[in-house]
Amino acid sequence: MTRFLLQRLGLSLITLFLLSLIVFFMAQYLPGNVGRNILGPFADQHSVDILNHKLGVDRPLVKQYLSWIRDFFSGDLGTSLQYQVPVASLLGPSLVNSLKLAALAFVIVVPVSIGGGVLAALKQGRFADRSITIGGLSLTAVPEFVTAIVLIVVFGVALKWLPVTATAPEGSGFFTQVKYLLLPALALVIVLFGYIARITRAGTIEALDSDYTRTAFLKGLPTPTVIRRHVLRNGLLPTIDSGTTRTNASAASLSELTSDGPRRLQTGACWYWSDAPRLPWRSFQTQSPYWVSTGRSAPTWWL
C-alpha cells in the first residue's frame, strides 16, 4: 500500500512539473507585450524595452522558468503587475472562497446523490426510479449559468428566501456565510447529482442481485439491516472506486468543484463570486497572460 501511494505521489509530481512546463512556455508565446500592456499603446518603445528588461521578460525562456520555479517553491510569488500588490494576497482570498463554495456543495451533493441513487435502486423500474434517473440526467445537461439564473429568479427574486449575491457582509457568522453561498452551491449540486446518483444506483442494483444479499434475506434479517450492512457496504464500492474517473462520490466532488474552472466560472459570475477561476478570466479580459504575474514574467495563476 505504501509503495502504491508513493508511486501515485511521484506520478502526480511529474505530471505537475510537465504541466508547469507546458503552460509556462505556452503563456510566453501568447501574443502581446508585457511592457506595452502596462505602459499603454502610446508609450515610446525605449520605455517599453526598459520595463521589459526590469521585469526580466527579455531573458531566455529557460532562465525565466528556472527563476520563476525557484521563487515559487521559496514562497515568493512576486507582485501583481495589474494591481501592484503581492500575488499571494490575490490568490489567498480567492482560494479560500473556492474552498468554501466547494465544501458546502460537497456536503450537500454527497448524501443527496447517494441517497437518491440508493432510492432509485430500491424502487427499480418504478416512478421514483424513473424520476430520479431522468430528472438527474436532464439537469446535468442544463448549462450551469442557466441553472444559476433560474435559482436566482425563483429563490432570490420571486420568493426572496435567499440572497442573490454570494458575498456575505464582512464579519458575518458561519450560518450567514452558508446562507449566502447556498444558491451557488445548489447550482453545482444540480449538475453533479445525476452523475453520482446514476453510479450509486448501478452499484446498489448489483449488490441487491448478489448471492450474499439473498442469503441475508433467507436468514431472516430485517430489510433495513440487509440494506445497511450488506447492500450499501458493497453497492457503494463502484462509486468510490471510480473516483479517478470523476465519479467518486467524495473525491470527484471535490476535484470537480475545486478544479473545474469553466464550470465554477459560469456559476460564480452569476453571483459575482470572486474565486480562483475568475483570476485567469480577468487576465484574458485584459488581453494579457501576466495579469497576476510575479513581476518575473511568470503567470502565477496558471498553477
CATH number 1.10.3720.10 given to 90-270 = yes
Cell reading at 159: 420568493
Cell reading at 222: 430485517
Asked if 291 and 282 count as a contact pair (C-beta separation under 8 A), the reply is yes
pLDDT per 10-residue tile (average), the chain, 303 residues? 78 87 81 78 86 83 85 78 74 79 86 90 90 89 82 87 81 86 86 86 88 86 85 76 42 42 51 53 48 43 34
Domain spans in the chain, listed from the N-terminal domain onward: 2-82+286-302, 90-270
pLDDT score, position 296:
45
Cell reading at 199: 453510479
pLDDT score, position 127:
92
pLDDT score, position 131:
92
pLDDT score, position 253:
41
pLDDT score, position 226:
87
